Chains A and B, each alone.
Chain A
Amino acid sequence: MRRRAWGSTVAGVLILGVLLFPVYWMVNVSLQPGGSAVDVPWLPLDVSFDGYATALDQQGRNLVTSLIVSLGSVVFSLLVAAPAAYALAHFRIRGANWVLFGILISQMVPGIVVANALYSAYNDLGLLNSIPGLILADSTAGIPFAILIVRAFMGGIPMSVVEAARTDGAGPIRAFVSIVLPMSRNALITAGLFTFLFTWGDFLFALTLTTTEEVRPVTLGLYQYIGTYVNDWSAVMATAVLASIPAVILLLVAQRYVAAGTTGGAVK
Chain B
Amino acid sequence: MAEQVLLRERPAGVQEKPVPARSRERLLQVLFLVPAVLYLLLFFGYPVAKNVLMSFQSYTTATFYTGEAPWVGLDNYTRALGSAVFDKALVNTVLFTVGSIAGQFVIGLALAVFFHRRFPLGGVLRSLLLLPWLIPLIVSGAVWRWILDQDNGALNRFLGATGVADRPGWLTSTSLALIAVIIVNIWIGIPFNTTILYGGLQDIPDELYEAAAVDGATGRRAFRYITWPLLRPVVGVVLVLGVVYTVKVLDIILGLTNGGPANATQTLATQSYHLSFQEFDFGQGAAVGNVLILISLAFAVLYLRATRRAVDE
Contacts and interface: CB of A to CB of B under 8 A. Distances in A.
A248 B131 contact: yes
B196 A143 contact: no
A265 B258 CA distance: 30
Contacts of A120: 50, 54, 59, 63-64, 282
B131 A20 contact: yes
Contact of A84 (B36, B121, B273): B36
B192 interface: yes
Contacts of B30: 87, 93
The CB with the most chain B CB atoms within 10 A, among A108, A115, A204, is that of: A108
The CB with the most chain B CB atoms within 10 A, among A116, A200, A203, A226, is that of: A116
Interface string A37-57: 111100000000000000000
B interface bracket (residues with beta carbon within 8 Å of A)? 35 or more
A interface bracket (residues with beta carbon within 8 Å of B)? 35 or more
A212 interface: no
B189 to A, nearest CB: 12
Contact of B296 (A7, A87, A108, A159): A108
B299 interface: yes
A172 B138 CA distance: 44
Contacts of B213: none
Given A120-B63, A155-B8, A204-B251, A112 B43 contact: no
Contacts of A69: none
Interface in B1-59: 1-6, 8, 10-11, 13-15, 25, 28-30, 32-33, 35-37, 39-40, 43-48, 50-51, 54, 59
B36 A259 contact: no
A82 B287 CA distance: 35
B42 to A, nearest CB: 8
A80 B276 CA distance: 30
B115 A12 contact: yes
B78 interface: no
Contact of A19 (B115, B129, B149, B299): B129
B50 A110 contact: no
Nearest to B11: A159
A235 B141 CA distance: 15
B142 A236 contact: yes
A64 interface: no
Given A13-B121, A40-B152, A109-B293, 16 more contacts: A6-B119, A22-B140, A23-B132, A84-B36, A101-B6, A103-B40, A108-B299, A110-B292, A116-B51, A116-B272, A116-B285, A118-B43, A143-B36, A200-B136, A262-B196, A264-B1
25 contacts: A9-B120, A9-B122, A11-B114, A19-B187, A39-B152, A79-B35, A84-B35, A91-B29, A103-B5, A107-B244, A108-B299, A112-B273, A113-B47, A113-B48, A116-B272, A117-B286, A197-B134, A223-B255, A262-B192, A262-B196, A264-B1, A266-B1, A266-B238, A267-B196, A267-B200
3 interchain residue pairs of minimum CB distance? A84-B36, A201-B136, A117-B47
